[in-house]
């Protein structure tokens, strides 16, 4: 069933507490916290929610657990778990449900306490008979392989990788909610502790607690609510592998499939996008995604991000919140990727606001470059 451009809109978004949360806080506490803040954001009541979508590593049966915690009985529910891109997938699934009258108001939620309980405890890794015997430091080693291959094949430099981290930090310094509060230089990224060559600790995302929520409803209903609607113009989903050793080409992700699907549905092209919110678990991922989504040619991503091109004042605003590298990365980051894109279209980002932002692309990544999902959001002028 093909989805209809702008048939649904995001009407409420909110983060939970971020960083290191209060002792004994659970992932469900954070999901609920984000939910009530998102309800306040849009003016709906909890009783209006009749669709529940969530994924988490610490909550095995997310939709059931969250519905029970909130005390609601949704008509529709979905616990699709494909890593950090799950929430973009949930947007497409919620849109289908709303279009076909299965629900009227869909909640997408996430929560993680990975900093409080340790990343290993929050996201235990499965034994992989083809990879685990070699004792890789996962997921860092998987992304390091992609970075190394890109460097070898296209001449991408460590300095260009570092540009991604420096740009994220510059954006984070404009975001009061960002975890990192100090400036960062290319030299500091290069000279930081090596994690998995060529990635230093500053090439790797934060390990924090956090979560949030997003509420969607029909485009018609959205016009009567509290905030300016942000329409879902296009979505795209794609899977390519589970294990990094099964990735056909370490320099090409399934974003090359999800992106064109989303642009096709939206009737737009990369030059039409005003800001880009990308899943930056490591500095190599924005480079790969900018290429695969069509913002530059394959192999040119390193040169594309150089000289502050994606930092404040650059040619393309990327990860204006500070991203997973400097704002917050609570294990599965995709929901926060979309929250920033929605706020940019609403014009709510204060010092980091992109001027005249009417179209924002949010892209999620799951596993080890395994799942790729793209959502394109637009303001009223795009409908």
Q: Are residues 222 and 274 in the same domain?
A: no
Q: Are residues 216 and 330 in the same domain?
A: no
> Is position 275 within any domain?
yes
Q: Are residues 185 and 113 in the same domain?
A: no
Q: Model confidence at 82, in pLDDT bands (50, 70, 90)?
A: very high
Contact between residue 366 and residue 357 where contact means Cβ atoms under 8 Å apart: no
> Is position 168 within any domain?
yes
The predicted-structure confidence for 84-105, as pLDDT tens digits, reads as follows 999 999 999 999 999 999 999 9
Q: Are residues 150 and 72 in the same domain?
A: no
pLDDT for position 121: 76
Cβ neighbourhood burial of 134 (10 Å; 0-12, 13-18, 19+): exposed
Q: Are residues 156 and 96 in the same domain?
A: no
The predicted-structure confidence for 251-303, as pLDDT tens digits, reads as follows 999 999 999 999 999 999 999 999 999 999 999 999 999 999 999 999 999 99
Q: How many domains does the chain have?
A: 2
The predicted-structure confidence for 128-175, as pLDDT tens digits, reads as follows 898 999 999 999 999 999 999 999 999 999 999 999 999 999 999 999
Q: How many CB atoms lie within 10 A of CB 26?
A: 17
Q: Secondary structure of 120-140 in the HEC alphabet?
A: HHHCCCCCCCCCHHHCCCCCH
Structural domain of residue 18, as residue ranges?
8-119+208-229
Contact between residue 87 and residue 333 where contact means Cβ atoms under 8 Å apart: no
In this structure, what CATH number is given to the domain that contains residue 297? 3.40.47.10
User: pLDDT above 70 covers what percent of the chain?
Assistant: 99
Q: Are residues 250 and 143 in the same domain?
A: yes
Quick check: helix, strand or coil at residue 341?
A: helix
Mean pLDDT for the stretch of residues 303-313? 98
DSSP structural state of residue 382 = G
> Is position 17 within any domain?
yes
pLDDT for position 1: 52
User: pLDDT above 90 covers what percent of the chain?
Assistant: 94
Q: Are residues 225 and 301 in the same domain?
A: no
End-to-end Cα, the chain, rounded Å: 21
> Is position 132 within any domain?
no
Tokens of 47: 């009783």
**pLDDT score of 219 more than 90:** yes
Q: Are residues 162 and 80 in the same domain?
A: no
> Is position 128 within any domain?
no
| Phi-psi group of 50: left, alpha or beta (phi > 0 → left; psi -120 to 50 → alpha; rest → beta) | alpha
Q: Could you give the CA distance from residue 217 to residue 225 in angstroms, rounded to a whole number?
A: 10
Q: Are residues 69 and 194 in the same domain?
A: no
Q: Are residues 199 and 213 in the same domain?
A: no
> Is position 348 within any domain?
yes
Distances from the Cα of 324 to the Cαs of 26, 39, 63, 124, 375, in angstroms?
A: 21, 25, 25, 20, 18
> Is position 130 within any domain?
no
The predicted-structure confidence for 38-65, as pLDDT tens digits, reads as follows 999 999 999 999 999 999 999 999 999 9
Q: Are residues 74 and 194 in the same domain?
A: no
> Is position 124 within any domain?
no
What is the residue-averaged pLDDT of the chain?
A: 96
Q: Are residues 147 and 269 in the same domain?
A: yes
């Amino acid at each position: 069933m093909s989805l209809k451009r702008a048939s649904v809109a995001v009407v409420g978004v909110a983060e939970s507490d971020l960083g290191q949360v209060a002792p004994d806080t659970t992932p469900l506490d954070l999901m609920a916290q984000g939910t009530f803040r998102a309800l306040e954001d849009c003016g709906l009541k909890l009783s209006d929610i009749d669709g529940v979508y969530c994924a988490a590593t610490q909550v095995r049966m997310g939709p059931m657990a969250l519905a029970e915690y909130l005390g609601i009985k949704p008509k529709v529910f979905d616990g699709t778990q494909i890593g950090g891109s799950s929430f973009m997938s949930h947007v497409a699934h919620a849109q289908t449900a709303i279009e076909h009258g299965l629900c009227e108001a869909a909640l997408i939620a996430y929560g993680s306490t990975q900093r409080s309980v340790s990343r290993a405890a929050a996201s235990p890794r499965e034994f992989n008979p083809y990879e685990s015997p070699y004792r890789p430091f996962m997921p860092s080693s998987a992304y390091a392989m992609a970075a190394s291959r890109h460097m070898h094949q296209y001449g991408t430099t460590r300095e260009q990788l570092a540009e991604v981290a420096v740009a994220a930090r510059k954006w984070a310094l404009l975001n009061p909610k960002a975890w990192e509060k100090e400036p960062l230089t290319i030299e500091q990224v290069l000279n930081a502790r090596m994690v998995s060559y060529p990635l230093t600790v500053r090439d790797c995302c934060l390990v924090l607690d956090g979560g949030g929520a997003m509420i969607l409803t029909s485009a018609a209903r959205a016009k009567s609510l509290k905030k300016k609607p942000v329409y879902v113009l296009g979505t795209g989903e794609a899977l390519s592998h589970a294990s990094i050793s099964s990735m056909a080409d370490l320099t090409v992700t399934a974003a090359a499939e999800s992106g064109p699907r989303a642009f096709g549905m939206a009737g737009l092209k990369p030059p039409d996008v005003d800001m880009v919110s990308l899943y930056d678990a490591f500095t190599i991922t924005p480079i790969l995604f900018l290429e695969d989504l069509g913002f530059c040619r394959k192999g040119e991503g390193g040169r594309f991000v150089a000289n502050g091109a994606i930092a404040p004042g650059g040619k393309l605003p990327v990860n204006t919140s500070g991203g997973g590298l400097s704002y917050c990365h609570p294990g599965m980051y995709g929901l926060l990727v979309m929250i920033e894109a929605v706020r940019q279209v609403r014009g709510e980002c204060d010092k980091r606001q992109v001027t005249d932002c009417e179209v924002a692309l949010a892209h999620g990544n799951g596993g080890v470059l395994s799942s790729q999902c793209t959502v394109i959001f637009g303001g009223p002028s795009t409908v």
